[in-house]
Amino acid sequence: FTTQPRYLGVTTRPPMDKGNVDFIPVMYYRHGELPPGIICDVYMTPVSAPDKHGYCSFGSGLFMSKTMAAAARTVVAEVHEDFIRTGGENHIHVSEIDYFVEPTTPPAALPTTQRSEEEVAMTEVICTLIAAELIHDGDTVQIGLGSVSSPIGMYLGNKNDLGIHTEVIPGGIARLVKEGVITGKYKKINPGKVVASAGIGVFPDELDIIDGNPNFEFYDFTYTDDLRILVNQENYVAINNALAVDLGGQACSESFGPFMYTGTGGQTIFTITAAYCNPGRSIIVTPSSAMVKGRHISRIVPTLEPGSVVTAQRAFVDYVVTEYGIAELRGKSLKQRAATLIEVAHPDFQADLRREAKRIYHI
């Protein structure tokens, strides 16, 4: 069989590198419909045990299970007694399931990623800048999955009446709901509710906060990422990671050149949404530099490497944030964008970037 994922992670990157995975780019989501090219004959999914009404929960990871199960010829469900329950679409009736099985081995632990003290420090600076300057009381926030964006919840404790509409809830968000920081008071869609498709990286005590809490509603990706629904929000702030950003503001968040590393996910849709939800803000976060195979490289580059995927198109990128500051791009010319991006680049690379900016943009 051939694996055809829509997103790549630690378990799918190695076979992708060997040519054993056939990646499907997806950024088209319509509620209740499978994206083009996604075919599902047999769907295997973990669920909770049925409740007294015969409904099972998809636990802390709904993802696209609701739509996949509805489209599949056969549904096989593996029962987990410890799964949490939420509102929204996070349920499936026993009548929709063809086979139940019991798990015979515990789930395999995902490999852990070690981060250096320098990387942690850069993340702290970036998240502090965003929380202080770019997120305002009453905003509805989307948080992309990634080492720099995911921790943002740890820095929002002094805000008021925030809302959440995102793909994945990271750690810290559930605690902010419990503390009354996140209320969803001003959300136009699902007011008062934290909307997501899954919780990834949430702390153990946060699962207890989410379980049965009416403030949390989990929906299928086809709902959380449906542009037709999203554009009805107001004050929408999209925060997403990038692997590289060029001097025009284009963000590559899913590949190294033509070689896939992650996937589009909802980033493209969320950045577009932020542009339409006036006064929304689309924020791209990235450390200014990285060590790759022992070589120090800049994340701010003159042009993206040939074959790189443009995940966030430059016209929809309002801010780029590194540990050296905030580059505001909205409404600026290419020359102005290049100048402000160089200011937040790592000092070791600024001279080279200025030379390239002069060559490309005649600065």
Q: Which residues form the catalytic set?
A: 167
Comparing C-alpha atoms, which of 268, 238, 237 is closest to residue 252?
268
Structure-derived torsion over alpha carbons of residues 130, 136, 137, 138, reported in degrees to the nearest 10: -110
Residue 173, phi-psi category: left (phi > 0), alpha (psi -120 to 50), beta (remainder)? alpha
Query: 302 and 260 in contact (C-beta within 8 Å)?
Result: no
Contact partners, residue 129, CB within 8 Å, separation at least 6:
321, 325, 326
By the 10 Å C-beta count (0-12 exposed, 13-18 middle, 19+ buried), 97 is classed as buried
By the 10 Å C-beta count (0-12 exposed, 13-18 middle, 19+ buried), 38 is classed as middle
The full 3-state SS of 40-68, as one line of letters, equals: CCEEEEEECCCCCCCEECCCCECCCHHHH
By the 10 Å C-beta count (0-12 exposed, 13-18 middle, 19+ buried), 276 is classed as middle
Comparing C-alpha atoms, which of 234, 254, 248 is closest to residue 311?
254
Please tell me whether residue 274 adopts helix, strand or coil conformation: helix
What DSSP string runs through 147-194?
TTTGGGGGG-TT--SBEEE-SEE-TTHHHHHHTTSB--TT-SSSTT-E
CA distance linking residue 179 with residue 33, whole number of Å: 36
